C-alpha cells in the first residue's frame, strides 16, 4: 500500500510541474496594462493564471518625459558660496538642481570691509592720485604755465 501511495504522490508531483510528457499548460493569460511613465514606455503584462508564465508587450509610443515645474531656491547665494536651485517633476518626484552665481561683496558703510563676510577691500593710498585726478592736475599746471608766459 505504501508503494502505491508513494507512486501516486510522485506522479501527482511530476504532473504538477509539467514534467510528464505531453503535460503542457493550456495557458489562460490575464493582461494588466501599465501606462507610460516619465522614463519608460507603457506596456501590457500577460500572466498565465495556471502556470505563472508571463510575457510583456510594449506600446509604440515613447515615454512621456519629465514635467518639471518652476525653479525653487534651495539655498540663496552669498558673496562666498554659490546658491542652489531645484526643479521637481510633478509626476514622479524626480528633481534636478543647478547653481546660482555668487553675489558681489557689498560695502555700504565705506569701511573697506564686506558687510556680509568681512572681506577686506584694497584701500587707495592717500598720497597716490587716481588717473583722473592726475590728468586734472597736469592740465591745471599746463594752463598755469601758459598764463605765466603771457602775463
Three-state DSSP state, 61: coil
pLDDT reading at 20 higher than 70: no
> Residue 57 belongs to what H/E stretch?
strand 54-58
Contacts of 104 (CB under 8 A, 6+ apart): 79
Q: Which one, of 51, 54, 45, 55, lies nearest residue 24 by Cα?
A: 51
- The band of 53, judged by pLDDT with boundaries at 50, 70 and 90, is very high
- The band of 97, judged by pLDDT with boundaries at 50, 70 and 90, is very high
pLDDT reading at 28 higher than 60: yes
3-state secondary structure 90-133: CCCCCEEEEEECCCCCCCCCCCCECCCCCCECCCCCCCCCCHHH
Alpha helices (runs of H) in the chain, residue ranges in sequence order = 2-16, 131-149
Domain ranges of the chain: 26-65, 69-122
Rounded Cα distance, 32 and 54, in Å: 11
Rounded Cα distance, 12 and 14, in Å: 6
pLDDT reading at 7 higher than 80: no
Amino acid at each position: 500500500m505504501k508503494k502505491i501511495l508513494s507512486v501516486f504522490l510522485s506522479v501527482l508531483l511530476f504532473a504538477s510541474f509539467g514534467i510528464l510528457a505531453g503535460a503542457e499548460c493550456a495557458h489562460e493569460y490575464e493582461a494588466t496594462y501599465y501606462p507610460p511613465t516619465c522614463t519608460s514606455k507603457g506596456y501590457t503584462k500577460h500572466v498565465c493564471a495556471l502556470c505563472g508564465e508571463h510575457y510583456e508587450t510594449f506600446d509604440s509610443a515613447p515615454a512621456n518625459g519629465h514635467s518639471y515645474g518652476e525653479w525653487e531656491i534651495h539655498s540663496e547665494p552669498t558673496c562666498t558660496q554659490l546658491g542652489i536651485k531645484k526643479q521637481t517633476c510633478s509626476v514622479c518626484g524626480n528633481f534636478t538642481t543647478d547653481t546660482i552665481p555668487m553675489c558681489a561683496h557689498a560695502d555700504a558703510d565705506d569701511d573697506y570691509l564686506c558687510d556680509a563676510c568681512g572681506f577686506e577691500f584694497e584701500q587707495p593710498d592717500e598720497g597716490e592720485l587716481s588717473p583722473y585726478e592726475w590728468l586734472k592736475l597736469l592740465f591745471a599746471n599746463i594752463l598755469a604755465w601758459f598764463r605765466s608766459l603771457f602775463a
